[in-house]
Amino acid sequence: MKLGFIGLGIMGKPMSKNLLKAGYKLVVYDIVQEAVKEVVAAGAEAGSSPKDVASKTDIVITMLPNSPHVKTVILGKDGVIEGIQKGKIVVDMSSIAPAVSQEVGKALAEKGVEFLDAPVSGGEPKAIDGTLAIMVGGKEEVFNKVKDILLKMGSSAVLCGDIGAGNVTKLANQIIVALNIAAMSEAYVLATKAGVDPAKVFDAIKGGLAGSTVLNAKSPMVLEGNYKPGFRIELHIKDLQNALDTAHDIGVPIPLTSVVMEIFQAMKVEGKAKEDHCGIIQFYEKLAGVKVRKK
């Protein structure tokens, strides 16, 4: 079986390399040629376009920034839909609007091509070590065909419902992660302003009810003032905008998400959009006039 992989960014590059390590033959494409060369050096074959990749492979995986990119790569000129054959499968692992997943799935179905939306959670570290959490929407029989492939990139792959359900689940995930980071930031700024070592606070609470994967992953970063991106603020803004748009379309108020979105926007205005999302602690630090660092 030969796989196609389109989108070799922060997440896609290590994900594709994990597929190569698992023994899969891979045809890859990205508009950034340096990324393509790196994955080709690891054993992949370069494709000249999404259409070319699709024409040479049985299953095409896409990992792209947002909804417009997915529509262009899959449905646009020289896109996947122009090269893929009836009976093949497209798995979009991008985090996009659920309605766009449904639109793409419908267009592919008209050509006899199966589609899954399968966004991921875990950021760059888990993409590198192959332990992403993968949430999937689509037909169960199609999911079963690709599950083993997905589990070469993640530690879990869960079918959440029909096409679009994967991205609805991802939006729920991104709301929870954003609110966790905001709560952690408020708590550590409070502790610091009160004269308590935030590193001690982390050690004391991480085993209790306040403990979380977010807390464990992001606390060491904020305590060192390290905002090197595993997941950029600008990408979380994109996800929260999709969450807000989807929520408003179906009549669901999400007021806390709206507040955190404005904090992310404030960081973007300050030129910090490419920093890790845990960097929003700087918003709280500025308000309180303190820096959160381990002592």
CB 4 within 8 A of CB 47: yes
* First vs last C-alpha separation in the chain: 53
Length of the chain counted residue by residue = 295
- CA triplet 206, 274, 260: central angle to 5 degrees? 55
Give Cα 156 to chain centroid, integer Å.
15
What is the number of helices (H) and of strands (E) in the chain? 14, 9
13, 17, 88, 170: which one is catalytic?
170
Q: Which residues pair with 137 in a beta bridge?
A: 117, 161
Distance CA(46)–CA(5), nearest Å, equals 10
Strands (E) across 84-131 are located at 89-92, 114-117, 120-121
Distance CA(229)–CA(11), nearest Å, equals 11
Region of 78 (left: φ > 0; alpha: ψ -120 to 50; beta: rest) is left
Region of 184 (left: φ > 0; alpha: ψ -120 to 50; beta: rest) is alpha
Distance CA(250)–CA(244), nearest Å, equals 10
Q: Name the 3-class secondary structure at 5.
A: strand
Q: Give yes or no: 170 in active site.
A: yes
Q: Which residues are catalytic?
A: 170
